[in-house]
Amino acid sequence: MTNKFICKDCGKCCQWSGGLLAPKDKEKIAQSLNITTKELQEKYLEEVELFGTKGFRPKSPKPYGPCIFYDKEKHCTIHEVKPELCKLANCKEDATKKFIKKHFVDQNNKASLDEWNLSEEINQTNK
């Protein structure tokens, strides 16, 4: 995926929750905070499961609240190493769907594919 979008660090996307992490994101974020990936996971991340695949996203201080790395004045406090999805999404559904399909839909697992296809059908019906 190429990043055609330049983030303006406005914080709009961050106010609804944190972006899902690609596998390489944990290491980069942990290094920038000078902590281990285990410490990052315990203190700042929550486990999620999508389409039968487990992953992580930043915690929110409250349900449907801002990303734990979002600050009202500074905006994204990890902007230079923010998750891949945050770099790509631009608050747009298409980039998010591509990211989720790449990192969370197991192409070799029929149940994962069926769940993805069903979610796509539901999304199309609701448009």
Question: What are the per-10-residue average pLDDT scores of the chain (127 residues)?
Answer: 57 74 92 96 92 88 83 88 80 66 79 77 67
Domain assignment present for 53: yes
52: containing domain:
13-125
Please tell me the distance from the alpha carbon of residue 56 to that of residue 78, in angstroms, as a whole number.
16
Q: Domain total for the chain?
A: 1
Q: How confident is the model at residue 8, as a pLDDT?
A: 66
Alpha carbons 53 and 48: distance in angstroms, whole number: 8
> Residue 117: its pLDDT value, please?
78
Question: Using alpha carbons only, how large is the chain's radius of gyration in Å?
Answer: 15
Chain-centroid distance, C-alpha 84 = 7
Specify if 63 maps to a domain.
Answer: yes
Cβ burial, residue 32 (10 Å; 0-12/13-18/19+): middle
> Does any domain span residue 4?
no
7 part of a folded domain = no
Residue 1 belongs to a domain = no
pLDDT of 15 reads 73
pLDDT at position 27 is: 95
Domain for residue 2, yes or no? no
Compute CA distances 102 → 89, 92, 120, whole Å. Answer: 14, 16, 15
